[in-house]
Structure 1
């Protein structure tokens, strides 16, 4: 993903870290919903596929996710 500035990537990582910290045991769909809310609050937009990929990574890695690795 070539349009990720360091500032944008940092904002995304902050949201991923925050959501990942409380995702354990969250009901289905909560992680993606909270990611979208956090990204909106940070005024960062991502394609739906990228948000879904981040949510799946958070759920499968128990919250410890490097956003730049997921977003490529």
Structure 2
């Protein structure tokens, strides 16, 4: 039975990581699409709103990286954000 608990806990962690990755993907897509028609300087506000609505948190450094990438038209490294669970909040 203990092996099942370990497997169940591992699956729950995988499910949480997958949920976090999917939520982050949706946030990034929303902010990127929105940014194409938005006035400059408001990407951070939209990102913060989207993160709050998705019940996600990122560190200040992560948020700065996302804002910079989006404003420069670069791809956001979603895998790095999602995998860095010690730095962000819940999914």
Please indicate the TM-score interval, normalised by the length of the shorter structure: 0.7 to 0.9
Pick aligned residue for 2:44 from 32, 38, 54: 32
In the alignment, what sits opposite 2:54?
A: 42
Instruction: Report the structure, 1 or 2, having the larger helix content.
Output: 2
Q: What is the total number of aligned residue pairs between the two structures?
A: 67
TM-score, normalised by the number of residues in structure 2: 0.61
Residue by residue, what CA displacement relative to the aligned partner does 1:2-39 show, whole Å, maximum 9, x if unpaired?
Answer: xx812111101101101100212523321111111100
CA contact (8 A) 1:15 1:39 kept: yes
In the alignment, what sits opposite 1:67?
A: 78
**Distance (Å, rounded) in 2 between the aligned partners of 1:15 and 1:52:** 15
Structure 2 SS opposite 1:12: helix
TM-score, normalised by the number of residues in structure 1: 0.75
Unpaired segments ≥5 residues, structure 1: none
Deviation above 6 Å: which 4+ runs of structure 1?
Answer: none
**Distance (Å, rounded) in 2 between the aligned partners of 1:59 and 1:30:** 10
Over aligned residues, Cα RMSD in angstroms?
Answer: 2.1
